[in-house]
Each structure stands twice: as structure tokens, then as C-alpha cells.
Structure 1
């Protein structure tokens, strides 16, 4: 009985699985959080930065080690004339030599090289944080632009519906003798203008998706879903977090790297040395020999060799300090300007929602009622409707600019400062 059940159940299960697989794939809406997650996982520039950090870590391992020893092989005092020419064991001075030589950079130089390599790892990590900020901010900006276009496209469906209602109203007015036959053209003209604006939206949607696709790949083709992001705008907190901006935080490891390079240049004033040990084999009737040799660098001309290098490294350090001061001023200016812009946009959004939209709606309704009563001409209705359409589109534009500004503030001074 069990085997029979298995034989009859398996085809049924297979058919169910096949039917499920045959269903069309329903794409999940693309939320802002999902877009940011995809950017964190898939952005090529972040993958490149991760490999750069790994390369710096690997390069730091041998930075302070001694150079590899050298194997020495050779023949010394090989005769090329006289009765013993061309022989290796007849002349007492001829020796077959094998040896090893080890260079010994001074300790300060090796420590400085290790410090340079360690600082380079920190610099690579800081550059990775900068790139992550850029990727997440750019992803958010692209998603917001795509979301704004989607809202406008949805709004245009309502505009077209209202346009059809206007056309019906005009036809009724013409039929009742309260409007001129030429008025029938006006709704068609308005529809053509809506078509032209919608063409611009199609172009904007393609541009927004292309920008988003740069960071998250094919998922950018999905329909954006959700609401306008609501990041808290904390002016005192942002001002406090200014010093922690990744671009400013990256100056610290760059400064340590520059200081280590100064120490490395100063270490060139101290002598490096090397040792060499050789074993020299001679003919059987002569005794073998061993040689030991030490070599020392002589930094005798620092004014034309070491000192200019030290001065160059110190100038690089001074450059970094000046660049940090310039960055602090630049980011302070940007932060204050963006905060002021956000406050302006916030006031504009409230004014549009609380005043401009209700007034434009009321004006449109009153003008249309007057037209239906035969007390107003169609041009007034069209003008009022145009204002109503522009105000509703303007509302989305203001909300978009407000969201874009808050994204720039949040990712630069909010999330980055956490």
C-alpha cells in the first residue's frame, strides 16, 4: 500500500511543483532599505575598496622584516695565464666560493616602514568608509528621484481622468447651448499638453533608473515603493558629528602615515649595514678558507641627499594639515547651507500642503461650477485647472528636494557620525 501511495503521490507533487515554477515571477517592490542593502552588497566600488584594504593588510606583513638573504657563488683568482691557466686546483690562490650575505637596514628605518604600512591600512579603511558613504548617499538620492517620478506618473492618471470629465462637461454645455462648439477643442489641447509632460516623465524615469542601476544593478528596474524617508534632522547633533565625517576622519591616518614617512627619511641619516660569510675551497694540497665581511653605508652628504627628502616629507605633512583645515571649513559651510535649505523646503512643504493646494482645489471647483452655471467661460476653467496641476506637481518636487537634502545631511553627518 505504501509503495502504491508513493507512486500516485509523486506525479501529483511533481505537477504541483511544475505549476508553481510556471507561474510568472512577481517582482517585489523596491523599498529604500532594500536599495541600500543591495548597494552595500553589490556596489563594484565597495568591492574594489575591500580588495584595496586586503592588499594593504597583506603588504603590511613584510614591511618591517629584513630583506631576503643573498646566496653568493663564484670563483676567485681564476688563472688565465701561466702554466696553471684554466685550472681550479693547481694555483694556491684559486678558490671556489659559496657564501651568504644579509643586508641589515637600521632599526629606526624598519620601525618607520612598519608604521608607514600600518598607517596605509588605516588609510585604506578610511577610504572604504568614504566610499561607503558616497555609495549609500548616491543610492538614496537615486531612489528618491525614482520614487518622485513614480508619484508623478500615478498623479497623471488622475489628471487624465479629470480631463475626460472636463470633456464630458464641455459637451454637455455645448448641447445645452451654454457654450460655443469651439470649446470642444480645449480639453483635447489640455490632453496633448499632459502627453507632452508625461513624455518628460518617461525620460526622467529612465534617467533615475540608470542612476540607481549604477549602484544596485538590475533591481533598479523594479517599481519604487514606500514613503518619503523621514530622517531626523538634528542640527546640534550634526554640528557635533562634523569632526567625524569620513573625509575628515581619514586625515588622521593620513597624518600618521606622513609622520612615519618623515621618520623613515630621517632614518636614512643612520648607517645601514650588511654582513657576508663565505666558504672558499682550494685544491687538495692547499687549505680551505672562510671569510667574514661587514659593509656599512656612509651618509656623508646629508645636505644634498637626506635633508631634501626630509624637507619634502615635512612639506607633505604640512599640506595635509592645511587640507584638513580647508575640509573643515568646506563641510561647515555645506552643513549650514544644507540645514538652511532644509528649513526653507520644510516651510514650503507645509505651506503647499496647508494653503496652496486647498486654495488651488477650491479655485478649480468654483470656476468649474461657474462654467456649468453659464457664468464663466472655459478659459478660466482651463487656467484654474492648470494651476491645480502645477501645484500638485510642485508639491512632489518640494517633497523630493526636501528628501534629497535630508539624505545628504543624514548620510554625511547622521549615519556617518554614529
Structure 2
């Protein structure tokens, strides 16, 4: 017996499965922790920093080694006049030479080069920590923005439901003779206004996903899930950690590298030397010879050669010290401003939760009750609902801004050991 499989239905099954997975209830979710892990694994800037560390490590291997030796070939005392001219073996002074030459930088210079290379590795590692902090912070900010958009989207779904209930109330009032037929248009106008506001969320969602996609790739299309992160915000802790900020900590290896370059410039005041061994071959009737020679650099004019280089390297050290102090003051200013902004936003969130939103909701309930009793105006109900919508949207915005400020503080001064 033969079996024949009719597979024409499989594309339909696959399409149905894909459509099911595309439903909101089946959409892939993305938590903040997952986004941070993906960013550390996928961010191209971190890959670039890893390669920079690898490059510095490879460059450090030959830092203290001697220069490559030189092979010396030559023809010495070649006659161009007299009876033996143009001959390489008739004149006893003509020699075919092969030699070996090795340059010997002074010990201080080799030591300084090793220190420069080691400091370069430390500097590359410090720069990677800075970049990691920036990647994690930017990822968190983008995720928080995307999560807040989803909260607003859920709010608008509730608002549309409430608007449909208002429309039913208005129709009941018109049927009972307690409202004008023109009132039936008002809920429709409100629905259109809500739809217009909702359209702005599409732009905000696209912008948030684009920002997140920069760090984690296509996973940014997944729906943010969880809740707004809650990080402790303690001024004393942040002030203590300020000087350990990765951007400030990076100045330590940068300064060591600059100081090592100063020592390398100073070492040029000491003579480098070289040695050479040559073997000279002459004609058969003449004996071959061996020569040994040494040479030294003579730094006789330091005022116009070595000293200006030393001064330039010392100026670079002073420049780094001044830049670190300037950056430290900048971070101090940023920290104080962000702490003050966080406190303001925290008070605004509590005020919105405890008074603005409850009072706006109470106003809607009272206005609607009066309207149902035939004692109120529909415009009062609509205006009260608009105030409630604005208060609820403001609440989400304030909570988002507070979370964004907390993220900036946390990743700048709470993760300095990472």
C-alpha cells in the first residue's frame, strides 16, 4: 500500500500559527534584564572595545624587546683606478663583507616603553568599562521609554471603553428626554480626539524601538514587559561613588601612560649604542679578516632636541590632570542637578497619585452623576474627563521621567564597580 501526503494545507497551518503568535497575548516579551544582557552581547561598540584591548595586549608583547638585528652586506676598498681597477680580488685591500649589527636602546628607554604598553592595556580596559556603562544606561533609557508607551497604549484602550459607556449614557439620556439629540455627537468627537492622541503613540513607539534596536538589534521589536525599575537613590552613596565613576577612573591609566612617555623622553638624554661584527673576504693570496665595532649616540644638544620633547610630554600630564578636574566638577554638577530633579519628580508622582488623579476622577463621577440626574451639562462631563485623561497621562509621564532620572543616577554612580 502506498501513502500519498497532501501537503497543500501546511502553508495554511503555518500562516495560522504565525498569526496566532502575532497576537498581543502571544507576542514575545522583553524584560529590562533581558535587554541589558542582549546589549552587552550585541552592542558593536563593546565589540570594538574588546578588539582595542586585544590590540593593546598584542602591541605590548614587543614593547621591551630589542630592535630587529640588521644584516650588513658590502664591498670595501674597490679599486677604480690603477692596474687593478675594476677587480674584486687583485688588490689586497678589496674585501667582500657580510656583517651583523644590533642596536641597543638604553635600559631606561626599554623600561619606559614597557610601562607605556602596560598603561595602554589598562587604559583600553578602562575605556571599555566606560563604554559598557554608556551601553547599559542607553539601553535602560530606551527600554523605559518603550515601556511607558505601552502603558499609555493600555490607558487609551481603557479610555475608549469609558467613552463607549459615555455614549450609551448619552443615548439613554436622550431617550429619556433629559438630553438634547445633539449631545449624541459629543462622544463621537471625543473618540476622534482620543484616536488623534493615540496616533502620537505610534511615533513614540517607533522612536523608542529605534533607540533600543541600536543596542540589542531586532529583539527591540518585542513588547517591553515587567515594571518600571526601582533603584535606590541615595545622595550620600552617590557622592561617595562620584570619584569612582568609570570616566574619572579612566584618567588613572591615561596619566600613567603619559608619565611613562615622559620617562621615555627623558631616557633619550642617555646614549643608545650598537655593536657590529663583520666578516671580510679577500682574494686567495690574501687573508680574510673579521671586524668588530661599537657606536654610541651623542645627545650633545638637549636644549633643542631632548628638552623640548620632555616639556611636551610633561604638558600632556598636566593637561590630563586639568581635564580630570574639569570632568570631576562636571559630574558633581550633573549629580546635584539630577538628584534635585529626581526629588522634584518624586514629589510630582506622589502628588499626582494622591491628589490630582483621585480628584480628577471624583470630578468626573460627580459631573456624570449630575448629568444622569438631569441636573448637569454634558460639556461639564466632557471637560472633567479631559482633565482626568490629562492627569493620568501626566502620571505616566512623571513616572517615566522619574525612572529615567533614576536610571541615569544608577548607571553613573551606582554601578561604578562594574
Which TM-score band applies after superposition, normalised by the shorter structure? over 0.9
Is 1:353 the counterpart of 2:353 in the alignment? yes
Provide the residue aligned with 1:297 in structure 2: 297
- Judge conservation of contact 1:242–1:417 (CA < 8 Å) in 2: no
Q: Distance in 1 between matches of 2:382 and 2:158?
A: 16
Q: Distance in 2 between matches of 1:147 and 1:300?
A: 70
- Judge conservation of contact 1:166–1:187 (CA < 8 Å) in 2: yes
| Shift in alpha-carbon separation, 1:27–1:70, aligned structure 2, 3 A | farther
Deviation per CA, 1:350-381: give whole Å up to 9, x if none: 11111111111111011011111111111111
Provide the residue aligned with 1:172 in structure 2: 172
Provide the residue aligned with 2:142 in structure 1: 142
Q: Distance in 1 between matches of 2:356 and 2:296?
A: 85
Q: Distance in 1 between matches of 2:406 and 2:380?
A: 39
Q: Distance in 1 between matches of 2:15 and 2:77?
A: 84
Output aligned runs, 1:278-297, within 5 Å.
278-297=278-297
Provide the residue aligned with 1:411 in structure 2: 411
Q: Distance in 2 between matches of 1:343 and 1:71?
A: 73
Please report how far the alpha carbon of residue 81 of structure 1 lies from its aligned counterpart in structure 2 after TM superposition: 3.2
Q: Distance in 2 between matches of 1:109 and 1:93?
A: 40
Q: Distance in 1 between matches of 2:58 and 2:340?
A: 46
- Judge conservation of contact 1:56–1:117 (CA < 8 Å) in 2: yes
Provide the residue aligned with 1:269 in structure 2: 269
Provide the residue aligned with 2:190 in structure 1: 190
- Judge conservation of contact 1:137–1:411 (CA < 8 Å) in 2: yes
Please report how far the alpha carbon of residue 315 of structure 1 lies from its aligned counterpart in structure 2 after TM superposition: 0.8
Provide the residue aligned with 1:85 in structure 2: 85
Deviation per CA, 1:388-415: give whole Å up to 9, x if none: 1111111110110010011001111111
Give the secondary structure class of the aligned counterpart of 1:236.
Answer: helix
Is 1:113 the counterpart of 2:113 in the alignment? yes
Give the secondary structure class of the aligned counterpart of 1:226.
Answer: coil
Deviation per CA, 1:294-349: give whole Å up to 9, x if none: 11111111111111111111111111111111111111111111111111111111
RMSD: 1.6
Provide the residue aligned with 1:214 in structure 2: 214
Provide the residue aligned with 1:331 in structure 2: 331
TM-score (norm: length of structure 2): 0.93
Please report how far the alpha carbon of residue 235 of structure 1 lies from its aligned counterpart in structure 2 after TM superposition: 1.7
Please report how far the alpha carbon of residue 88 of structure 1 lies from its aligned counterpart in structure 2 after TM superposition: 1.8
Q: Distance in 1 between matches of 2:280 and 2:243?
A: 65
Please report how far the alpha carbon of residue 21 of structure 1 lies from its aligned counterpart in structure 2 after TM superposition: 13
Give the secondary structure class of the aligned counterpart of 2:223.
Answer: coil
Q: Distance in 1 between matches of 2:417 and 2:97?
A: 64
